[in-house]
Each structure stands twice: as structure tokens, then as C-alpha cells.
Structure 1
Amino acid sequence: MDRSKAKQRIRELTSEINYHNYRYYVLDRPQVSDAHYDALYRELVEIEKRFPELVLPNSPTSRGGDKVSGEFAEVTHSRRRLSLDDAFSFEEIEEFEERIKKLISKDVDYVCELKIDGLQIVLTYKKGLLAIGATRGDGRIGEDVTHTIRTVRDIPLELSQPIDVVVSGEIYISKKDFEAINRGQERASGPLYANPRNLAAGTVRQLDPKVASSRRLKSFLYDIEGEVAPKTQVEVLATLKKLGFAVNGDNELCRDLDGVRKFIDGWASKRESLPYITDGVVIKVNSLLQRDRLGATAKAPRWAIAYKFPAEKKETRVLDIKVQVGRQGTLTPVAILKPVRLAGTTVSRATLHNEDEIRRKDVRVGDTVMVQKAGDIIPEVIRVIKEKRPSGTKEFKMPARCPICNGPVVKVEGEVAYRCANKNCFVVQVRKLEHFVSRDAFDMEGLGTKIVEQLYKEGLVRDPADLFTLEEGDIEPLERFAEKSAENLIRSIQSSEEVTLDRFIYALGILHVGDQTARDLAYYFGSLSKIMRASSAQLAGVGGVGAVVAKSVADFFQEPRNQRLVDKLLGAGVRVKSAAKPRSNKLVGKTFVLTGTLSSMSREEAEAKIRSLGGKASSSVSKETDYVVAGDSTGSKYEKAKKLGVNILSEEEFRQLL
């Protein structure tokens, strides 16, 4: 094939394959068989290999690309991308309309759209070709994630018209794909993802587009500006669809609030049947001219509001109550449930926290219970339906012997916890090892639960220090290990030999010491030896460290067994360096709680920024909380902050504070 024919054939194949992609991924109505599609795709790949200079910018083979190195480039949006005000009751929607009618005397139509639980993105097209894909960020500046956006199969690389436009919408992962991804994580002994939204947000910000491609991201677009002239939201959606974008068909034009209420009530009862997760309804003024008159506040447009569905509750049955053992030997009762679909995933277990909680709710095996997901993430039993309780049920009692090692169980004085008293309990030791290698501790990539258990069972690792003496020859004979995977594991361990003091303290798994307390100790004392020698009184003098925590730390380092472990770790080559102190005291004394998902940074990045300015990042809201930072899809923390009168910051306000 000569160059001229190759150029013509590449143009034909690119056009034909992109058309079939649109039929398959957007319309869900394929016209050709998989075999026929694959043959076309392979032909294009072969011709492009021979003539790489002829590859078109909208080639379907470009939905991949190379890994991005370093940080994402910043993208300044053409206009501010504001977040929406939330409504948690219909009364708040009525108040929303009252505010509109003060500014507009004419009748107002609304368009109701299902609120997709995903990540907002902004796409820029030049002459019909995708130029930039960006996150919303703080509304003014987002991150350039074009490399992952190109992997989203239902986002066109080329529009049906050669025009300049900017469109925005939501990236999400379907329930089916999310569960398949988690099954894969389970098989690989990896951590399970909490929910589709967080996974979608993390995937869009992946450096490697191949990882993003494997997670089958999807999109719904709902806004457009540029060389188009729609006059209403109905026309906006029609224009987007005509240009080749995926548009959610579950929307409705409502002439008044009665129509809005019917739309909300209708979807509240059947949202579980959808292939994606929706957490509410976005209500928008239909007329774009009326929107211009209404304008916006500093935080949100006056012409739209997001109604949030109440947390979904489901009825199911308690099949059993089992007891789990944690790394501190703490016994935690868990309800084994008849599997039920809840907030997009199948739930078969729910923590019951402790014996006091079980007694308060009076949960028994055989009971019918109501369950919900706290913050749409953690399954919990909220109440027992006692009128459905079968006869002969018995109150639950904590076991006197550990269910793992049969060691004695003791009740801790002054606490609700029961603990296994056997310090050599198998599960306790394995959980301690898992904690030691976790992301916030030594961060040893590739050491999942099953591998840690295998290493412990085979006697290769009895304590964390043994990890640093492992050799490839020790690991290769183990199940699921080959020469390459053994080599990668050893390399991961070796790369973790140098660690900051705060991570080292956290990795030791001292009772009551979380990552924030570990940082407080590291900043205050500055060296491992000083922390190990400190008395309870000296430890209690550290801000944020109370008497109970101080005693726990002092007791830990006074125990010969723990002193030997520290010596063994240092002898095995572990190097402990000083923790990075805050670069500023701007937020000293301020406690922050993050809720929802931030668009411009991950939760870990946000917490790191808070700490770098001397502030503290907490996981729970209390009267002592200074600020709650509210991202998208906020949960119970947001509601608690409102009740307690805690200052609530939008993502943009948080970034300005930094």
C-alpha cells in the first residue's frame, strides 16, 4: 500500500470506527459484530504502524497514550464553574423558587436532571476536535487530565460539526463495572474501593491512562457554550446529543413545582434500578435568558439547586453475628446479613461496633433490621423491626475466648472494648503487619492481606523487622509467586527502608495513636530516642495528646518486647529521618474535617496541605472542629456540622484559606 492509499484508508477506518464507537458506547445500539469491529481496528493499527506520520488526531487508537509524569498542568476555565446549593427537603426547593420569583415576574419552567454521583469535568473542543479535558478544580482553575479523558469511550474525540465549544458534565463508573473492579481487587488481595464516585475521581486523576482505560469510565454531559446558540436547557441537551455526546435521557421539563415534586418522588422510589448511582435531582431554570437575569452568588448560581435524596434504607435479616479480631486484639461484632442491594452495591455485612451498641439496639440473630450506608459508604444497622422478631431469639454476648486463637478475652477497664489477651494471636500479629506496611506507615506496595498471611503462616515473617531480611529465594517457592513478582516485592520493601519519624511511630501500631497523634509526637520531640524515653507526664504535655494516649505510648516503649522490635528494625537497615515540620503556622490550632469529594485535590493532598500550615485534619465532627470543608456528595458530617454551628467552607473558600 502506497502513502496516498494509506492516507485515504486511515481516514475511512477512523471515521467508520468512531461511528461504531458512538453506536456502541453512547447509543448502546451496535450495528456490527465484535469480530467485524476488531477486524477494522486491527487493520487501522497495522496501517498506522507503517505510516505513523499519517495518524489523525481523532484516531480511535489514541485512546490510551503514555503515562504522565509529575503533577498535572493547571487549566484556567473560560468561566467560573460554581458548585450548586443543596436542598435536603422540598421546603428548601420552595424557598429556592421564592427567591427566583423576587427577581423574575414571568412564569418559570424547570428542567429536572438526575444528579450523577461522579466527578465534574470540562471539555474544550477546537474546530470539533478534543483539545483539553480538565477537572472542575476550585471552579476557576482545574487540572489537565486530557490523557485519561481520551480513554472514556463515550466522549467523542471529534464532534459531528467542526466548531469551538466548551462542554461540561460528569464522569462516573457504573454499578456493574464497580463491582467487577472490586472483585478483581479481591482476587489480587488488594484493598476494596469504597464507592464508585471516589474511584471515578481517582481514575480521572491517574497518571497512567492504561489504568484509566481498564476501569471503563462513562460520561453524561449537560452544559455547553461557544459556537452554538441554545435558548433553553432542553435545547442544550438536544445540542449535546446532536454533537455526539452521551446525554442522560432521564430528564424532564416541569412547568411548576408540582411537576418537580413528581419527578423527585418517582425517582426516589426507583433509583436503585438504574445502572449508575444517583444521589439526588438537579433542578435548573429552563430559560437561559432568565438564568442570566438571576445570576449567581459568590458560591452558587441562583438558577439551580441540587436536591439530595435521603440515605437509602433497606430491610434485611441478620443471619449471624460474628466476631472479628483487630490488630490491637479488639473484638468487634459484625452482623452477617441476607445480601441486599444498597446505594449501588450488594451489602452482606455491617459492623455492630461493640457490645454496648448491640445492647442499645438489641440486635439478635434472626432479627429483621433496617440498614443504611453511613455517608453512602459504611453499612450500618440503624434499628431492629421488633414486630418481625421470631420467637426463641437470644441476646448476644461477647465470647469468653478469642474466636481465632482460643486465648482469654478481657474487658478493658474504662472502655467498651473487649480484647484478646494473647499477644501471639495469629490475627493480631497479621493485622499488625498489615498496618505496618499500609500507605500511611511504611507504604510497601504489593503487600496485600493474603501475601502477609502467607508470609506469617510460612514462618518467614513473625514481626515487621523480618520483612527487611527477606530474600527473593524465600518468596519464590510460595503460591502465586514467580521470579519477577518476588523481585518486585523485595524492591518495594527495600525502597521503604527510609521513613519519617511520624510514619515510623504510626507504623508501630501503638494503642490510641493515629497518624495525627504520631505527627504531633514527631514534631514535638524531634527524635525517636526522645519519644522512647519520655514519661507519661512529658507525653501529656504535647498538644492533642491526653492522659490516656500518653500512658499508652509510655507503656508501649517501656515494654521490653517493643524495645527489642525497635532495635531489630534499626538493625535491619531501617533509617528514621525527621518529620517535615509545618512550613507555616498559618493554621496552627485549627482543626479541619473533610467531607465529600474535592475536585482539585485528593483527600490525602488536602490533609497534607492543612498539616503543612500547622493545622490538624480530623475524621469526625465535634464542637472542637473549626472548619468542615464540603466537597461534592457530602454526607452525615456536613449535617452534623450544620447542627453544631461549625464553619462550613466550600472547596474554593478552602483553597483561598490555604
Structure 2
Amino acid sequence: MPDTPAIQHRIQALTEQLHHLNHQYYQLDISEIPDQEFDQLLAELQQLEAAHPDLALPNSPTRRVGGTITKQFPTAVHRFPMLSLGNTYSEDDLREFDERVQKGLEGAPYGYVCELKIDGVAMSLHYEHGQLTQGVTRGDGTRGDVVTANVRTIKTLPLALRPGPGQPEDFEVRGEVFMPLPVFEELNAEREQNGEALLANPRNAASGTLKLQNSAQVAARKLRFYAYSLLTPGRHFASHSDALEALTAYGLPVSNTWRRASSIEEVLEFVHYWAKKRFDLPMATDGIVIKVDNLRQQDQLGYTAKSPRWAIAYKYPAEAARTRLNDVLYNVGRTGAVTPVAVLTPVPLAGTVVKRATLHNANQIELLDLRLGDMVYVEKGGEIIPKITGVDLTARPADTVPIQYPTACPACGTPLVRPEGEAHFRCPNERGCPPQLKARLEHYVSRKALNIDGLGAETVGRFFELGMVKTPADIYDLPARRPELVTLERLGEKSIDNLIAGIEASKQVPFPRVLFGLGIRYVGETVAQKLAAHYRSIDALMAATAEDMAAVPEVGGVIAVAAAHWFQQPENRELIERLRQAGVQLEVTGEAPVPASDRLAGLTFVISGVFEQHSREELQLLITSNGGKITGSISKKLSYLVAGDNMGPAKREKALGFKVPIISETDLMGMLPPADAGAQDDTAADTEAAGPPAPAAGPGQQGSLF
């Protein structure tokens, strides 16, 4: 019999230790232990929780990786309404606001707190006894979506608070969930490579991420959170600034850019300082929030029907510039997508000099009716990506003609194709188009793929231009060409030694990263990990059909078709054989998971729809670990269709036509050994209950509402 108290004590100790290490790392930039040691502690906790799910704590650090698939988001009523702030773009309006505050307080001394207005998604978090219990979006201000599982994936957000003076037993934290600019840019770069539409700005990206049904995908987006107010039914602090300092003491992330101001002049100084300085920050901001600091004075000033009288948001005007469109270049990406880029007369905009702007695709050029020589208006989408928003038709030369999108690849001359349902034209010459070949090499050596030390994008690009490497397999021939390497300029003996050592070390890179590095269209990091974990070797993956791959969680039909097509190409099979001969890892190392039973041996299943107690991935694992097989297609040979909510009617009709039994999640659980069924039931996601009705905003509410 297991020693339950000892196991429970170890789980508690690991949980507290990992929460502490996360706080030190993400809040204080302190690494108390090596990453490997942290990973070992986390792995130990995961193993204990898997073996004893009933002892796992609700806010375990293991929940940050996500994994929950939500059928739909329940809603909850905000205990304190999330009202809107009045906005202004005028400094004169700020002075008028100050005059209203002075009049409302009848001449009593007062001060302000100035905070940067982060361009993200407003979020309300509920903490009870120091534990995060619920995360709710703004919604309509009265009721919002419960997205607790997604919020728990934010690494800068403490699931368990640090004890602090005056910490209420039950309180709410209001703040902003946002996507850091480097993450946003990386996400858009990946989408551009895959030929997907670019996200407009980090706010839209953060909002869309929080709406994802799979929290594992949310975790991969690396969202962040800044708190900006604390609310309780009673009064715990005298001022808003005191509450911000308390939030920091409790371990919650608060942007250190906020400042107290004793007058409207100091407020304006803050506004002027950040007008340009904000562009140096790693997150998007679009203004300043000004709040009366003293909470009793906030109560005295009160509210209008829609907003408080004690706070206002100053929005920086959207910066735009007018300049000339001199040319349009057409870049060919790794997947063959042809992206137009506007070449502009350089113009200052939002802290930088803009020389180029994205035009997205042929549709955008046609929509704007762009012509070379036009005077165009340029803005930064979300103050990040320059884009053309319009044309000054009054300045258009009389002899201009509409821009004609090329019909042939600008790099290799191959006729372009436009797949049905896609916005981009593509060059289909995968094996001979230089930009595609070069981009695939750069992808293979990139940090998230093989990460070959001494062989960055610039160096591998140089080798490509010299004709020394054309495919990833050619990289492993470079050590034998050392006499040729030493003749190259700017490549000394030490650099060559580092290069050869890096190539040798890349042979130990795990299979999932190698699979990602192959650059198969639509196969990003997450999909590569899922496929590698499911098939465990490149040979098994090559033997799989598109239907088989489509049954792997988070893969789907479009990805499966692209991957199956890639593996069918003789050139790609030759590439894999050369990588195998070079010693690259093409299978998952270590022993395969031991089957729980053979209860489902000889049976095949299709899983479709969304389920109450398990994710599709969990159901797949239950089936395969008990000897069953997953497939993506319905045929006469299929044993069972496991049907959840929102399953497509076509699959149901097809199953009925083939007389395939249609079973529910409960039916499937009944086919499994009781121990497995019980263990899985214990790990079912907690349901989130809606809170009590929201009282009217007014005196006695601690903190600000925004």
C-alpha cells in the first residue's frame, strides 16, 4: 500500500518549491537552480500526480503546460462590474478632467497615479486564501467568459500568492493579458512562412489566444499578465498606490512603469515622457491611465452611468505618415508563398524610419488600387508592423496604371499558382527555386530546430550561394570538406572547428526537433512533437496515410495531407536516408510506454466531437494504451465511432451506412479496465461556477475597477 501521507507531503513540498522558483525566475530574473534540475523537479511532480491524481493540487505548477480542451467557456457574473474608462486624445481634456476632480473634492489636496495603458485583454482574477480560483474575461462588463484553464498557463502569473501584510482572504485582481512583441513577431513570421494571414496586432493575438479551446495551444503562445488593481468587498488599503505595492508584495506582476503625480503638470510630464519612450518597451501600449490615488476620494467622486469620475484614459493619437510608393518587391518564402512588399521613400513613424511596408497579398494591392508613384498613407498596425492604409488620390500622377501582380515566380520564373481558398500565390518549384531552398536550410539550422552552433542563417546562406549546400543533408558533408572551408574569407580555423563541432552535436538533437526542422508545410513545433510522440520513428511516419495522421490529436486533415504528400516525394525520402546515414536522430529514444492492458486489442476507433470529461488526446491515449488503434476514416472495417458533441453529421451518416457502432464517452470508459477508468475520472477538469450577482458600483469597493 502506498504511504499516502508521505506522498501528499512530497506533492505539497514540490508544489511550493516550484511556485517559489517560478516567482524568482519570472518576477525577479533570478535562476536559483539550473534548468535541468528544475525540469527534474517538475517531472517528479508530474509523475506523482499521474500516479495519485486525487492528491494533485488545483494550482499545481504542472497546469501551466495546458492540455485541457474546453467544450465551451462557461460564464460568470463579475462581483464588481468591469466598467469602461472615458477616453481622450487631448491634453486640454486632461486639464478639464483635473478641474472637475478639484471641484468634486471641494479643494481638498489630492494626487494621481499614472499607468501605461497596455494594449491587451482585460482580465479579472479571483484569489481565495492565496490560491487562484478563477479567471474571467471582461465580456460585457457584467458577465464574462471563465477561462481559468487558459489563464493558468501564463508563467508570470502566480497560481499561489506569497504571504504579505494585509493580504485579504478573498479578493479580485484586475489586469491585462498581453502578448509580448517578440512573441507576436515570431508568431507572425511563422504564419507568413506557412502562408497564413498575419495577425493584425498583439491585442488581437492575445484575445484570439484566450479563446482557444485547447490550453496547450495557449501555453505555447507565451502570454503575459500585468495587474493594475485590487478589489475586495471591504477596505484594506488607503490608496490605489498602496494596493499596487501590495500586489507586488504578493508576487503578482505589476509593471514598474507606474508613477505617483501630485499635480496635472506632473501627469502631463509622464504623458510626454512615454509618448516616444513606449516604443522601447517589449509590449504594445496605446495610452496612459490616470486615476485619483486616494480611495476615499474615489468614492467621493463616484461614477457616471458608464465610467468613473476619478479616472480617465489618455490615448496617444495613431501615428501616420505620408510618403511615396517607389516599388513593389515580391519575396518568396520557405513554402513558396509570394509576399509583396512596398518600397517607400524613407519616412519617420512611431519612433523608427520606415522604408518598407507589408502589402500582404494580391487582394490588398487590388483593394487599395495601388500604383507606382502614388503618395500613400502609412501607419503601424498595433504600432508594430508598417502597413499602407490609403492613397492620396489628389497627388496621383495622371499616367499611372494599376500594379500587375506577377504571374511567374520572381526568383525562378516558374508560373505561379493560387490554391483554392488561399490568399497567396505560390511558386510550386519546391526543388529548384533558390529562395525556397535557402529558406529551408535556414529553417533547419534555426534555434527551435537543429540549432547548429557555428552555422547560423547568414553562414548557411553563404554556403548555399557558393553551391556547397542545397539540402540539409549536405550540411553533414561539410566536415569532410575542411580543406575547401579554410580557403573561404572570414572563416578562420577556430570558426571551422566550432562549425564541425556544432554539426556533430546536432546529431543528438531529439527527433521531434529534427521533424520540425524538415520544414514540412503546416508542421510547426507542436505538430512535430505530436507526430513524433505518436509514431516514434520516421519510418512509421512515412508509412502512415493522411487519414492515419489526421487522427492524431492537433494534426487534422490539412496538415495530414501536406505531411503525407511530403513523405511520398522521392527526393524527400532520399533526404531522410542521407540524414539517417549521417547519424541524425530519426526516432524517439527510450522505451515506448507500457500498455495498460490488451482490452481493446484488434479494435479500431474514430474519435469525433468534443467530450465532457476527457480531451480527444486523452481518449486516444486511453484507447492506444489498452491495445486499440486510432484511425481517421470511417469504413466497413471500423470497430467503433466514439461520438461527442458537435460531431459532423457526415461522419454519423457514414457510420450508420456502414453499420459501425456509435458509442459515447461513457460507453468507451465502460470497455476499459476499472482502474484506468477511475484514474481518468479523477483527472476530469474542474467545473467553474458562476459568481454571485454583481452589486452596483459605488462606495466601499476596494481598489479601482479598471
Give secondary structure in 2 for the equivalent of 1:13. Answer: helix
CA distance in 2, matches of 1:401, 1:252: 53
Q: CA deviation at 1:163?
A: 1.7
Distance 1:19 1:486, change over 3 A: same
Distance 1:49 1:347, change over 3 A: farther
Structure 2 residue 232 is matched with structure 1 residue 229: no
Q: CA deviation at 1:332?
A: 9.1
Q: CA deviation at 1:26?
A: 2.1
213, 216, 223: which one pairs with 1:210?
216
Structure 2 residue 422 is matched with structure 1 residue 434: yes
Q: CA deviation at 1:19?
A: 0.5
User: Residue in 2 aligned with 1:167?
Assistant: 173
- 2:406 alignment partner AA: P
Q: CA deviation at 1:296?
A: 1.1
120, 123, 147: which one pairs with 2:122?
120
CA distance in 1, matches of 2:399, 2:317: 31
Give secondary structure in 2 for the equivalent of 1:112. Answer: strand
Structure 2 residue 349 is matched with structure 1 residue 348: no
- 1:205 alignment partner AA: K
Contact 1:319 1:338 in 2 (8 A): no
CA distance in 2, matches of 1:319, 1:32: 54
User: Residue in 2 aligned with 1:542?
Assistant: none
User: For 1:535-567, what per-residue CA distance to the aligned partner results, in whole angstroms no more than 9, with x for missing partners?
Assistant: xxxxxxxxxxxxxxxxxxxxxxxxxxxxxxxxx
Q: CA deviation at 1:83?
A: 0.9
- 1:404 alignment partner AA: T
221, 246, 257: which one pairs with 1:250?
257
- Structure 2 residue runs without a partner (length 5+): 332-338, 434-518, 524-541, 560-706
Contact 1:362 1:395 in 2 (8 A): no
User: Residue in 1 aligned with 2:407?
Assistant: 404
Structure 2 residue 34 is matched with structure 1 residue 33: yes
User: Residue in 1 aligned with 2:76?
Assistant: 75
Contact 1:73 1:144 in 2 (8 A): yes
Contact 1:189 1:449 in 2 (8 A): no
CA distance in 2, matches of 1:356, 1:64: 46
The structure showing larger relative contact order (alpha-carbon pairs under 8 Å, at least 6 residues apart) is 2
Q: CA deviation at 1:185?
A: 2.1
Q: CA deviation at 1:41?
A: 1.2
Q: Which runs of 4+ in 1 moved over 4 A?
A: 313-319, 336-347, 350-363, 374-378, 381-384, 394-397, 399-402, 448-454, 478-485, 488-494
Give secondary structure in 2 for the equivalent of 1:430. Answer: coil
- 2:3 alignment partner AA: D
For the aligned residue pairs, the C-alpha RMSD in angstroms reads 4.2
TM-score normalised by length of structure 1: 0.57
Contact 1:335 1:350 in 2 (8 A): no
- Structure 1 residue runs without a partner (length 5+): 325-330, 364-369, 385-393, 407-424, 436-447, 458-477, 495-658
CA distance in 2, matches of 1:150, 1:79: 22
CA distance in 1, matches of 2:174, 2:48: 34
Structure 2 residue 294 is matched with structure 1 residue 287: yes
Distance 1:58 1:483, change over 3 A: same
Q: CA deviation at 1:373?
A: 2.5
User: Residue in 1 aligned with 2:142?
Assistant: 140
TM-score normalised by length of structure 2: 0.53
CA distance in 2, matches of 1:400, 1:449: 15
User: Residue in 2 aligned with 1:552?
Assistant: none
* Range that drifts further, 6-15 or 347-356: 347-356
- 1:311 alignment partner AA: A
Aligned pairs, how many?
A: 424
Give secondary structure in 2 for the equivalent of 1:306. Answer: strand
Contact 1:148 1:212 in 2 (8 A): yes
Give secondary structure in 2 for the equivalent of 1:30. Answer: coil
User: For 1:560-600, what per-residue CA distance to the aligned partner results, in whole angstroms no more than 9, with x for missing partners?
Assistant: xxxxxxxxxxxxxxxxxxxxxxxxxxxxxxxxxxxxxxxxx
Structure 2 residue 56 is matched with structure 1 residue 55: yes
Q: CA deviation at 1:110?
A: 0.7
Q: How high is the sequence identity, in percent, across the aligned residues?
A: 33
CA distance in 1, matches of 2:158, 2:345: 43
- 1:246 alignment partner AA: P
CA distance in 2, matches of 1:17, 1:32: 11
- 1:160 alignment partner AA: R
Distance 1:45 1:78, change over 3 A: same
User: Residue in 1 aligned with 2:343?
Assistant: 335
CA distance in 2, matches of 1:235, 1:37: 34
- 2:422 alignment partner AA: E
Q: CA deviation at 1:217?
A: 0.7
User: Residue in 1 aligned with 2:272?
Assistant: 265
Give secondary structure in 2 for the equivalent of 1:158. Answer: coil
CA distance in 2, matches of 1:93, 1:126: 38
Give secondary structure in 2 for the equivalent of 1:160. Answer: coil
Contact 2:112 2:261 in 1 (8 A): yes
Distance 1:216 1:260, change over 3 A: same
Distance 1:28 1:349, change over 3 A: same
Contact 1:175 1:345 in 2 (8 A): no
Q: CA deviation at 1:339?
A: 11
Distance 1:8 1:93, change over 3 A: same
